[in-house]
Amino acid sequence: MKVLTANRLKDGEAVWYAADRRWSESLGDAEVVHDKAGEDRLAASGQAAFKANLVLDVDLIDVELVDGRIVPIRLRERIRASGPTIREDVGKQARSGPADVAQAAGRISS
C-alpha cells in the first residue's frame, strides 16, 4: 500500500494527497492505493503539482493500516506525519485531533 506525500512549497509543511484531489496536512486524509495503476495515477498527480509549484519532494511511500489508521512503514515518514520528536507542544502532535502514528504503529514508546 502506498500514499503520495510532499512538502507544500509556500511553508514547507508535510502534506499528503487526498482522495478528493487536494493536499492535506493530515495523513489520515491520504488516498491509499494498492496497485501499480494507482501508484502511477498518484505519481502523475504529484508531478503535476510539482510543475505547478505547489509542492516539492514528491514521493510515494509505503504504508500499512494499524487499527484502521494509516501508518507509514519508515520512521522518517512517521516523524513527518507526527511532528518533531523532541517537543510535543509544536508541530502536528500539538494540534487537536491528529493521531500519533508513531505510537499507533507500536514502534516508538512515549
In a domain, 100, yes or no: yes
> Is residue 91 in some structural domain?
yes
What pLDDT is stored for residue 41 in this prediction? 97
Contact between 9 and 51 under an 8 Å Cβ cutoff? The reply is: no
* 110 falls within a domain: no
DSSP state of 87: -
The most distant pair of C-alpha atoms in the chain lies apart, rounded to whole Å, by 40
pTM of the model: 0.79
Residue 84 forms part of a structural domain: yes
Q: Indicate if the pLDDT at residue 88 is higher than 80.
A: no
Total number of domains constituting the chain: 1
In a domain, 109, yes or no: no
pLDDT digits (tens, 9 = 90+) for 6-50: 999 999 999 999 999 999 999 999 999 999 999 999 999 999 999
Supply the range of the domain harboring residue 20. 2-104
Question: What per-residue confidence (pLDDT) applies to 96?
Answer: 56
